[in-house]
Amino acid sequence: MKKGLFVLLMLIGFSSITNAQAVALVSKPIDTVKLYTPNADAVKDIAKAVKEAKKANKHVLIQAGGNWCSWCLLFNKTTTNDKQMDSAIHANYIVYHLNYSQENKNDAVFASYGYAQRFGFPVFLILDGNGKLLHTQNSSYLEEGKGYNKRKVIDFFNDWRPGALDPKNYATK
């Protein structure tokens, strides 16, 4: 009897929800963020970012990965949602998301940067305003637990900003 009453109450409860609510109950949330464009012309896009960086006296921060990479999406979400990290990026870098996926592995581009994919994803490349590779950063050094360590990320951004590499900042008197 109790089982029958429970089933009846459940049916009444479910009949009162809308179709959209029912779909939401059984569906997983879908991440619609698309940072990477598999069909992009990475060589052309990076050249444009380098030109922009030179003009603005910034460096290029290439975040290599793919829309399939949960750590790539998490890094972007973490840095854009934190005002201090977001400011450190935009003050010193032009950002480009270099795609690596089944659709387009950008083999030639990765080869030209010393096969950065060997570190896994995301991997970060810092280019100067002339397009010279200054640094390749393995993202695992920025991670902590199930996310990114804010201090390590900010230090990374600060350590490779244009001013950090300016000899005038280290001249002795």
- Please work out, in degrees rounded to the nearest 5, the angle formed at the alpha carbon of residue 129 by the alpha carbons of 89 and 104: 75
pLDDT value at position 1?
A: 52
Here the contacts of 24-32 (C-beta below 8 Å, separation 24 or greater) are 31/73
| Predicted model pTM | 0.80
Output the CATH code of domain 42-167: 3.40.30.10
How deeply is 105 buried, as exposed, middle or buried, from its count of CB atoms within 10 A (0-12, 13-18, 19+)? middle
Per-domain residue ranges for the chain? Answer: 42-167
pLDDT value at position 171?
A: 82
What does each of the 173 residues of the chain score in pLDDT, given as a tens digit? 555 544 444 444 444 434 334 333 333 344 557 999 999 999 999 999 999 999 999 999 999 999 999 999 999 999 999 999 999 999 999 999 999 999 999 999 999 999 999 999 999 999 999 999 999 999 999 999 999 999 999 999 999 999 999 999 898 86
